[in-house]
A and B are shown apart, each in its own frame.
Chain A
Amino acid sequence: MRPERLLLTCLLLTGCSDKLPNAVDLGPGANPGVTPEWDGGVAKSQKGNLRFKGPERLSLDLAQALELPSASVCNELGQYPCQNVHGVALGGVDPYEHSVYETPTATGATTPIAVERTVLSACNARITLDVKTPASAVVFKDVTLTADGRLADAASPAVATAVTSLVRRAWLRDPTQAERDTLVRLSADVQATGTATPGVAWMQAACLAVFSSAEAVFY
Chain B
Amino acid sequence: MPLTPPSPSRWLLPGLLLLGFATPAVAMPTGPGAFCAEYPTAPACQGTQPACTYCHVAPPQRNGYGAALEPHLAPGKPRPLSEADFAAALPAALRAIATADTDGDGAPNQFEVEQGSLPGDATSVPPSGVCGGGENPQFKVCQYDVRFVYRRMLSDFCGRSPTYVQVATFLELGIEEKQRAFIDQELDRCLQSDFWRGKHGQLWKVAHPKIRPVGSIKSGEDAGVIPLADYYDDYALFAWSQTDDHDARDVLTARFFVKRSGTNPTTYTSANSVSSQFVEASRRAGNMTSAWTLTSFVMFTALPRNAASQMYRAYLGLDIAKQEGLHSIPNEPRDYDAKGVQAPQCAACHATLDPLSYPYRNYNGLGGLPNRYIPNRLELLFPNEVATLKNTPEQGVILGQPVNNLTEWAQVASNSDAFAISTVTDYWKLLVGHAPLPEENEEFVRTWQAFRTTHAYRVQKMLHDLIRTEAYGAP
- Using CB atoms and an 8 Å cutoff, list the residues of chain A in contact with chain B: 1, 13-20, 22-23, 34, 41-53, 56-57, 60-61, 64-65, 91, 93, 95-97, 99, 101-107, 111-112, 168-169, 172-173, 219
Contact = CB atoms under 8 A, between A and B. Distances in A.
B164 A61 contact: no
A64 B171 contact: no
A70 to B, nearest CB: 10
A172 B161 contact: yes
A128 to B, nearest CB: 22
Contact of A20 (B151, B162, B168, B212): B168
B282 interface: no
11 contacts: A18-B137, A42-B134, A43-B132, A49-B432, A50-B3, A96-B213, A101-B208, A105-B4, A105-B434, A168-B164, A173-B138
Contacts of A102: 208-209
Contacts, number: 133
Nearest to B152: A219
B151 A106 contact: no
B137 A34 contact: yes
Given A34-B137, A45-B141, A18 B164 contact: no
Contacts of A51: 3, 152, 433
Nearest to A17: B137
Contacts of B209: 101-102
B164 A172 contact: yes
6 pairs of A and B residues whose beta carbons are closest in the complex: A96-B215, A43-B134, A101-B208, A168-B164, A42-B136, A23-B165
A20 B151 CA distance: 15
Chain B: interface size category: 35 or more
Contacts of B5: 48
Given A46-B130, A172-B162, A97 B215 contact: yes
B161 A45 contact: no
Contact of B164 (A23, A34, A41): A23
Given A23-B164, A23-B165, 8 more contacts: A43-B133, A49-B4, A52-B1, A56-B159, A91-B3, A95-B213, A107-B1, A173-B138
Interface string B159-197: 111111101100100000000000000000000000100
Contacts of A219: 151-152, 155, 161
Nearest to A64: B160
Main secondary structure of the interface of A (DSSP, over half): loop
Interface in B255-286: none
A55 B5 CA distance: 21
A155 to B, nearest CB: 24
A99 B159 CA distance: 23
Contacts of A45: 139, 141, 475
Interface in B196-244: 205, 208-209, 212-216, 218, 222
Nearest to B2: A106
Contacts of B132: 43-44, 46
A13 B137 CA distance: 10
B89 interface: no
Nearest to B129: A46
A107 B214 contact: no
A47 B137 contact: no
Given A46-B142, A47-B474, A95-B213, A14 B137 contact: yes
